[in-house]
Amino acid sequence: MPQTTTLKKLKAYLVPGQVYRRAELASQSSNIDRHLAQLVEEGLLKKLSHGLYLAPKSTVFGDAPPEINSLICSFLKDDHFVVYGPSQFNALGLGTTQLYNDLVVFNRKRLGEFTFGGLTFYFHRWREAPKQLTPEFLVVEILNRFNELAEDRNQVLTRLRDKLPEFNRRRLLLAASRYGTLSAQKKLDHILRSAQSRTSHKESLPK
C-alpha cells in the first residue's frame, strides 16, 4: 500500500537523537498527521512541543536527551545561535566561581523561557548572534550580565585587564561591537585603555 511505503520512507528519514519540525517531516509524507500519530504511538517519535518532535535515541540508561544544537536549530529555524551555561564564565579565569544549571540561548529570533523534553532554556534575543562559542564571546557576555554577578565585580574587571593578552584582541573587539550592550562596550573600552596605559608606563620606566 502507498501509505505503508510512505511510512517506511518517513521512518528511514529519522535519525535517532535529532529533532524535527512538523513542516520538515511533512515533506516526506502525504498524510503527515496520521503518520506522526503512528510514529509517536510506536515510540519512534516523541512530541516535545507544538510542531516539534524528537527521534529518541536509546542508551543503556534509557532514552538520551535531545541533541541540543539540533533541538535549538529546529525550534528557531536558524543556525545563528550559541548555547552556554553561565558556569562557563568560571573557565575564563576572571574570579567567578558560581555554579548554575541555566542554559542560555543567545539568538536572533526568540526571547523568554522555553522547556523541551525536560530541558529549560532561557532565550536571549539580540540583533546578531554567532554560530560558535568562543572565549571572547563569553567575555562580552560576562560584561553584558555584569550586574548579575555574585562575585566582587571590580575584581572581575581587574582580572580581565590583567588577562587581556590571553584573548584575541581582534575577536574581542568584534564580539563587543556585534553582541555587546553599550554598557559592556564602554567597560571593555575602559579596560583596554587602562591596560594600554599600564603597558606604556612600564615601558617608560628606567631599566
Q: What is the pLDDT of residues 9-22, one digit of tens each?
A: 899 999 998 999 99
The model's confidence at residue 27, banded by pLDDT at 50, 70 and 90, is: confident
What domains, with CATH codes, occur in the chain? 2-63 (1.10.10), 68-204 (no CATH)
d(CA 93, CA 10): 48
Say if residues 36 and 85 touch (Cβ distance below 8 Å). no
Check: CB of residue 159 under 8 Å from CB of residue 149.
no
Contact assessment for residue 81 and residue 106, using Cβ atoms and an 8 Å cutoff:
yes
Confidence bin at 7 (pLDDT 50/70/90): confident
- Report pTM: 0.79
What's the CA gap between 180 and 139, in Å, rounded?
A: 10
Confidence at residue 118, expressed as pLDDT on a 0 to 100 scale: 79
Output the CA–CA distances (angstroms, integers) from residue 31 to 34, 36, 150, 181, in the order listed: 6, 9, 53, 47
Query: pLDDT tens, 75-114?
Result: 999 999 999 999 999 999 999 998 888 899 999 999 999 9
Torsion from C-alpha of 24, 26, 29, 31, nearest 10 degrees? 160
**Cell numbers for 52:** 516539534
